[in-house]
Chain A
Amino acid sequence: DTAVSQTPKYLVTQMGNDKSIKCEQNLGHDTMYWYKQDSKKFLKIMFSYNNKELIINETVPNRFSPKSPDKAHLNLHINSLELGDSAVYFCASSRGRDLGYEQYFGPGTRLTVT
């Protein structure tokens, strides 16, 4: 009955590698998000998609590329990984973009770049 799921939960990789994190929601929501949480627990939005259309693209290096094959999925691909990319990445979804639509978060993917 997982509402928002992410895979993998842990990802350890070396600098320079390319990796992907997958996200799926079974809530029938139209809007999905990727957030990055650093070691000090600061949570910052990276991207948002509404009905497969990119609507928020924060100042994120273009090594990060989100892809939404359908409304239920929003994957995050990261090229040429750097040490500073180490963080916990959260996927979230909401029914829509309007006020009052609660965001549901996934369990997070802890990325460690060595």
Chain B
Amino acid sequence: GESVGLHLPTLSVQEGDNSIINCAYSNSASDYFIWYKQESGKGPQFIIDIRSNMDKRQGQRVTVLLNKTVKHLSLQIAATQPGDSAVYFCAERFGNEKLTFGTGTRLTIIP
């Protein structure tokens, strides 16, 4: 399943399927991007980051893709598990300026 992040804030995916969460960022000068996961009642937790000189970075079951041309960031989660249910935020940063967070997408994994 896919979400457009800012426009579709919820995404439901069958357990075991892959999910894609999208994010449109605002500042074309941003040079650092992060995905955070926030479970219910907890603080945001770092998942993966990417610098603007890269277009893809992989972690364990997660991949972040960066398309600077259209200012778009996506998070792919492979073989989703119930524990992946959470709100996912993208964040952008320019230099040493503050992190600016997107509005978040709620991902629900259906058993």
Do A and B pair up? The answer is yes
Q: Could you list which residues of chain A lie within 8 angstroms of chain B, going by C-beta atoms?
A: 4, 40-45, 48, 56, 58, 90, 92, 97-100, 102-108
Give the residue name and chain of the B residue nearest to A97 (CB). B96
Distance, CA A106 to CA B98, complexed state (A): 18
B96 near A105 (CB under 8 angstroms)? no
Please, which residues of chain A bring their CB within 8 A of the CB of B93? 99
A48 near B43 (CB under 8 angstroms)? no
B98 near A43 (CB under 8 angstroms)? no
Name the one of B42, B44, B46, B49 contacting A43, with C-beta atoms under 8 angstroms.
Answer: B44
B8 to chain A, nearest CB (A): 14
A41 near B103 (CB under 8 angstroms)? yes
Distance, CA A73 to CA B36, complexed state (A): 23
Give the total of B residues in contact with A, Cβ under 8 Å. Answer: 23
Please, which residues of chain B bring their CB within 8 A of the CB of A107? 41-43
B43 near A90 (CB under 8 angstroms)? yes
The prevalent SS among residues of A at the interface is: loop
Distance, CA A40 to CA B89, complexed state (A): 12
Distance, CA A31 to CA B80, complexed state (A): 34
Name the one of B43, B95, B101 contacting A44, with C-beta atoms under 8 angstroms.
Answer: B101
Give the residue name and chain of the B residue nearest to A9 (CB). B41
A90 near B103 (CB under 8 angstroms)? no
* Contact of B5 with A by CB under 8 A: no
A41 near B104 (CB under 8 angstroms)? yes
B43 near A99 (CB under 8 angstroms)? no
B71 to chain A, nearest CB (A): 18
A40 near B46 (CB under 8 angstroms)? no
Name the one of A45, A90, A103, A108 contacting B46, with C-beta atoms under 8 angstroms.
Answer: A103
Please, which residues of chain B bring their CB within 8 A of the CB of A104? 46
Distance, CA A24 to CA B32, complexed state (A): 27
B28 to chain A, nearest CB (A): 17
